[in-house]
Structure 1
């Protein structure tokens, strides 16, 4: 189906589009704001947005998040995932870092995510309880970006991707769309990039569908939204997120608003029946994005480290996600750590399948990388 042609859509696709009208909006049970966060206009604006939704905000007298946590690890995890802290990003969080293979640089608008994904990439990366922290000092974060213009090793110096300009990834440590109704940070940053007269691109990927605040922004084509998707049969591994059909419909709406688009198919999970499941997913995407003029695809297979596995096992002890080591190989990273990836034969089968199906169903799409 064409992005601008809804009248001839099949009944099941129209049902998908109608379902996108009610996206999931996170309501944290506990919201706190640090003293320094309240000194920033954006910090006060976040507080106002949250309170307008009928959620109380506790204003802390200091910048220390000394929040009482239950002694039981499961209860502590549950409480942390229901908590939003409005804080000031320290210099270490404001400083852009390389983020290959996605983009030249990482830009963090927040840290943490309200979703409950049993493969969560943040497990083992975040220190302490997984509280979501929204940053109040956006002007200081933005000020770090212009010196990186033309720098970086992914798009700035790549013949294949140089036309994307200097790229900044906003979804490394959070899902910014999941927080947008509470923070407004993503809209503000899209508008800032839209006003930046430079060869740049902001990138974000999301498992959520509440794109209404973004549709009328003056983005000037300098922001690419990607939907992070997996087959519907894997929804049990992505608790608290919007259904994949809603994400795809939201992505199509962003395309009609002039945004360049992308699919992040991740994590690719090789279980029995994966060919049918991912074939259906690609077909579903093609039905909505067949004429998207600028569509990218990122393909990321499931992997985990011993540390992340231990954290995820404690968070989701009943998960059916296979992390037993079957069909896996140990791979040492450039930092010396070990991660478990699919073995060579499985990787070869997966890659060949995705190459074939994408070429057939989404021939206009550019596959940025496979990992």
Structure 2
């Protein structure tokens, strides 16, 4: 085992040492080893520590903004109190320097008014709401590239209480789950991780724990949804959630996760965290993304699905879903990503892709139809065979 350039351990089996299900007779910790090789023990959760934290005056006027500052103080993290609500001092002399400064900065701010009006977020959920914007990870295919304006500073929203209170008017509305017979059992769904990774920030803010508690106390058919590439679930295990929160873990095969997902938790650790939450009664999910037709992709993704099957083995009343998302890019995201990661090996060759237009006319490049058909049929067949309890929510 050796660390790669991103500090991620490589050359080890994609297997996970997980706790036994509650009904195991021995009561001992029995590792599942369905794959070849000795399963490594999940390491302590990886936590991001920003180099610079700033707070705007408007954020400090909010109760949750002050809670975040107090939380950071207990972690020994100093907060710089800005004189105005405008962020400054982020840009460097080069694009790379600006990127480095921004990715190491946490800003405590108030959400812009535009974010308070919820937008549909098909095919994932009825509505999207945001508790933060930006992510400290270094994924070379970053979904946020080209979607957010300015340097990629991570902003956390201090007006949490107002954001959560404003969700009630959207219950029973929407078209993705609320009025879809196939997914109506999920209730009105609210996606809270479109522009961030909750577990990357939770130890700093406590925002998503409060959101889980809010949804648990909501006497209505509603569901909070978020996805993550981290594994720090300690504060969620044992938390009353009433089954109203589905946590999905974004996973990929080793050539992608080990080479293109810098700063994240290892996939075995994510799967161990998924199991812990599933044993605690949470609905859980897989976000397999971005799917890529790499050389030997069937073997690589087969290994991943085998590790997932091992991780959920024996979980009683398992509620598991899968969202299957293939890699795509836009001209804008390609330009941003090449600026951030000039030596990336990520394939973004327009001549190898099919050109498509989004809902608002935006150009995107996806895999050709034959490739998409082959990928989709393989994943649907293998998931049905290896994880028969898993429901596929969508393919895109």
TM-score by length of 1: 0.96
Q: Distance in 1 between matches of 2:79 and 2:36?
A: 40
User: What is residue 191 of structure 2 aligned with on the other side?
Assistant: 169
User: What is residue 299 of structure 1 aligned with on the other side?
Assistant: 324
Does structure 1 residue 362 correspond to structure 2 residue 384?
no
Q: Distance in 2 between matches of 1:88 and 1:13?
A: 49
Does structure 1 residue 332 correspond to structure 2 residue 354?
no
Gap runs ≥5 in structure 2: 1-17
Alpha carbons 1:3, 1:255 under 8 Å: kept: no
User: What is residue 14 of structure 2 aligned with on the other side?
Assistant: none
- Which of the residues 91, 100, 103 maps onto 1:78? 100
User: What is residue 102 of structure 1 aligned with on the other side?
Assistant: 124
Q: Residues 255-282 of structure 1: CA distance to partner in whole angstroms, max 9, x if unpaired?
A: 1111001000000011111110001101
Q: Distance in 2 between matches of 1:195 and 1:16?
A: 38
Shift of 1:53: 1.5
Size of the aligned set, in residue pairs, is 370
Give 1 or 2: higher helix fraction: 1
The SS at the match of 1:214 is coil
Shift of 1:8: 5.8
Alpha carbons 1:229, 1:266 under 8 Å: kept: yes
Structure 1 residues 18-33: aligned runs within 5 Å: 18-19=41-42, 21-33=43-55
Q: What root-mean-square deviation, in Å, do the aligned CA atoms of Structure 1 and Structure 2 show?
A: 1.7
User: What is residue 313 of structure 1 aligned with on the other side?
Assistant: 338
TM-score by length of 2: 0.90
Q: Distance in 1 between matches of 2:248 and 2:326?
A: 17
Q: Residues 203-262 of structure 1: CA distance to partner in whole angstroms, max 9, x if unpaired?
A: 010000000011121111000000000012212111110001100100100111110010
Q: Distance in 1 between matches of 2:37 and 2:184?
A: 37
Which segment is superposed worse, 136-145 or 257-266? 136-145
Alpha carbons 1:232, 1:243 under 8 Å: kept: no
User: What is residue 244 of structure 1 aligned with on the other side?
Assistant: 267
Gap runs ≥5 in structure 1: none
Shift of 1:290: 3.6
- Change in Cα spacing, 1:249 to 1:8, as seen in structure 2 (3 Å) is closer
- Which of the residues 13, 16, 40 maps onto 2:62? 40
Alpha carbons 1:106, 1:169 under 8 Å: kept: yes
- Which of the residues 80, 85, 88 maps onto 1:66? 88
Alpha carbons 2:288, 2:323 under 8 Å: kept: yes
Q: Residues 325-367 of structure 1: CA distance to partner in whole angstroms, max 9, x if unpaired?
A: 3531001111101100000111011011101110100011100
Does structure 1 residue 263 correspond to structure 2 residue 286?
yes
Does structure 1 residue 202 correspond to structure 2 residue 202?
no
